[in-house]
Amino acid sequence: MITTKSQREIELMRKAGEIVFNAHEAVKKEIKPGVSTKYLDSVVHDYIMSQDATPSFLGYNGFPGSICASVNDVLVHGIPSKEVILKDGDIISIDIGAIYKGYHGDSAWTYPVGEISDEAKKLLEVTEASLFEGLKAVKAGNRIGDIGAAVSAYVKPFGFGVPIEYTGHGIGSNMHEDPSVPNYGIMGKGVKLRENMTLAIEPMVQLGSHLTETMSDGWTVKSIDRKLTAHFEHTVLITKDGFEILTRTKEAYKH
């Protein structure tokens, strides 16, 4: 069921989103060669708990971390580990969710570790830009297909792969709600966007093939050809004329 949110719910989601944004601000300062993804997980966990909130991911369907820490060819759902030590030239996607008084915020960002290759820089640049291209299609009256079409149209000329199995989603009192928000689509098709709907929009892009493989742990998803991957995500509120990014500061980004 697709829901629109009341003003009370929107305020709680703004707070959850602000906590997620500030958790990203805290953890990105710690991303450097020699640190483990488990350490980064502890930074985020401690910050979220200090804000009278709880991590959305911890224990979700048995997931053992407070963040998803996905390095290089890991697209999503990387499990934080003391054994995974960042090195110069890596890229790492940090996906963070927080629950504040029953409502979720969710945002992923891909960060460089030290000095990265030109190829990796281009992947990050294109994937981040594709998120904002998708957001341009967000306003009441438009369709879900408009978002995915905008994302894929931006990415396609670069020859990068866009996985089809993993999508954005509605969000609110549950972390994953209807509708799904694919990173591909047909303009004018799909669910109509309504004012006060809340969505997590999250382009995921791979340097090579769009195909993926899930590892034996049941969580870690890698690119099939083991090439670099990137992931950028914001939680947004649909407004009459556009959108508001909830996973930002109090001075929320509106368009």
pLDDT digits (tens, 9 = 90+) for 153-203: 999 999 999 999 999 999 999 999 999 999 999 999 999 999 999 999 999
Q: Is the pLDDT score of 104 beyond 90?
A: yes
pLDDT of residue 255: 45
Q: Is the pLDDT score of 250 beyond 70?
A: no
- Tens digit of each residue's pLDDT (9 = 90 or more) over 63-74: 999 999 999 999
CA 73 to mean position of chain CA atoms: 16
Q: Is the pLDDT score of 117 beyond 90?
A: yes
172 burial via Cβ count (<10 Å: 0-12, 13-18, 19+): buried
pLDDT of residue 251: 53
pLDDT of residue 248: 85
Give the whole-number percent of the chain exceeding pLDDT 90: 96
Tell me the average pLDDT of the chain.
Answer: 96
Cβ–Cβ < 8 Å for 73, 231: no
Sign of CA dihedral 146, 134, 173, 241: negative
- Tens digit of each residue's pLDDT (9 = 90 or more) over 11-55: 999 999 999 999 999 999 999 999 999 999 999 999 999 999 999
pLDDT of residue 112: 98
Q: Is the pLDDT score of 143 beyond 50?
A: yes
Rounded mean pLDDT of 85-108? Answer: 98
Cβ–Cβ < 8 Å for 68, 137: no
Residue 190 is classified by DSSP as S
- Tens digit of each residue's pLDDT (9 = 90 or more) over 194-247: 999 999 999 999 999 999 999 999 999 999 999 999 999 999 999 999 999 999
- CA distances in angstroms from 235 to 39, 71, 134, 206, listed in the order given: 25, 22, 12, 22
Q: Which residues contact 141 (CB under 8 A, 6 or more apart)?
A: 192, 193
